[in-house]
Structure 1
Amino acid sequence: MIPTPDLAHLTKQDYDVVYEPAEDTFILLDALEADAEVLRAIKTPICLEIGSGSGCVSAFLGVILGADAVYLCTDINPHAALCTLRTGAQNKVALSPVIASLASPFAQRLRRKIDVLVFNPPYVPTSADEVLDAQDAGGIAGAWAGGKDGMRVTNVLLGMLDDLLAPEGRFYLVALKQNDIPGITRRLREEQRMDCKIVLQRRAGREHLHVLCITRL
């Protein structure tokens, strides 16, 4: 069993402004661990976590893949970028956080070169105004406010996926049942010739969490 990254360096004050790892984080860790051997078969992978928050997920991925991988992270929250950097140092994983929306800094240079893409998105259904305000503010609300069906931010990334994912790349996405997983699957297959499988699901209070693994057909 791969241990959860050490987050002892993060304080209550950090978690006032950065999303604290919770059940949605841990189900993503479990999905990555279940696929550890498949991921280790990728030679010198380029990894990108969108919305890295505390840096917990990327640090965990670093334990799976080791020092030969490249670990890029983006977050709209400057505090999250700093926490991600500190979490990498705490766990001896060379994380490279960038303050940015989605994959915008890498869209051209790393076109179809991302081997492992990870996103625990803002998936909670909210009003359109709420998600726009959260994204503009670049604060902790950007970690959960998802707009209509909780898909406002995720839909933007799905539209970029064909330009990001390497030929044998794998995209791990956290989703709620309310996010219309059959609709996500159908859209990816019809518009981008991507396969979408539920690799793990779990109930956490009122939420029915899923981890989807998306690959090219």
Structure 2
Amino acid sequence: MSIPNPISIPTPHIAHLTEEDYEHVYEPAEDSFILLDALEIDAQLIRDDQPTVCVEVGSGSGIASTFLTQLIGHGSSLVLSTDINRYACEVTQRTAKANQITLNPIQCNLLGPLSARLKGKIDILLFNPPYVPTDLEELNDTQQLRDIGGAWAGGDNGMIITDIVLNQLPDLLSPTGKMYLVTIIQNKPLDIAQRMQSKGLLCKEIIRRRAGRELLSVLRISRK
């Protein structure tokens, strides 16, 4: 697909992360980098909207939250990140420090206690969810462990965790709010687009890329 010339933003430094870290936290891979590329494509649009509240659900290594902070300018927006994994929150903080920015990682399940406070206020929402189709037992086990398995096990069609956030989305986004969602073909992105349209939201594929056996894409979901 045709992609406009993006604003160039450096990839965050992650050399401080170790093999031991990656035993507990998802190591940035193609799905991580396609999200960064989508943000880079939309960089001017994001900057023009001057977002004040940005949230990443499931920050993992913190690479996406760090990249978004670099994109919009450090100090110009509140950037929150959440993760069910305590270790991931610590690593996110270290990634922010290594890149000389400030992040606010919060350990909770998805948006947890923040949902009510953020209602109608989120300008940018990032989510690289656990999208791999698995059985329900595996999904429940990995979520309960609150460790690295929760970064990829997504249940039926890989959508059980994602659907929780999508169902809240109309209440969360600000009038100019946008969500950037990583999907694979098994998640049925066209079905996601139709469902979001039925909720009064616009859904557009920003970028698509094959990575091994996975066909990845990033969807932008926004107010009409």
Q: TM-score, normalised by structure 2?
A: 0.94
The Cα RMSD (Å) is 0.8
Match of 2:27 in 1: 20
| Corresponding residue to 1:135 among 143, 146, 167 | 143
Distance 1:46 1:93 in 2: 16
Match of 1:113 in 2: 121
Q: Which amino acid aligns with 2:187?
A: N
Match of 1:212 in 2: 219
Is 1:104 matched with 2:83?
no
* SS state at 2:60 partner: coil
| Corresponding residue to 1:152 among 124, 135, 160 | 160
**Cα offset for 1:44?**
4.7
For structure 1, which runs of at least 5 residues remain unmatched after alignment?
none
| Corresponding residue to 1:57 among 52, 64, 68 | 64
The 5 A counterparts of 1:39-50 are 39-50=46-57
**Cα offset for 1:43?**
2.7
Distance 1:105 1:176 in 2: 28
Distance 1:193 1:153 in 2: 21
Q: Which amino acid aligns with 1:61?
A: L
Question: Post-superposition, which runs of at least 4 consecutive aligned residues in structure 1 deviate over 6 A?
Answer: none
Q: How many residues align?
A: 216
Match of 1:83 in 2: 91
Is 1:187 matched with 2:195?
yes
**Cα offset for 1:106?**
1.4
Q: Which amino acid aligns with 2:219?
A: L
Q: Which amino acid aligns with 2:152?
A: W
CA contact (8 A) 2:51 2:123 kept: no
Is 1:10 matched with 2:17?
yes
Q: Which amino acid aligns with 1:109?
A: R
Identity of aligned residues (%): 50
Q: Which amino acid aligns with 1:119?
A: F
Q: Which amino acid aligns with 1:93?
A: I
* SS state at 1:86 partner: helix
Is 1:36 matched with 2:54?
no
For structure 2, which runs of at least 5 residues remain unmatched after alignment?
1-7
Distance 1:161 1:44 in 2: 17
Q: Which amino acid aligns with 1:118?
A: L
**Cα offset for 1:182?**
1.3
Distance 1:164 1:90 in 2: 30
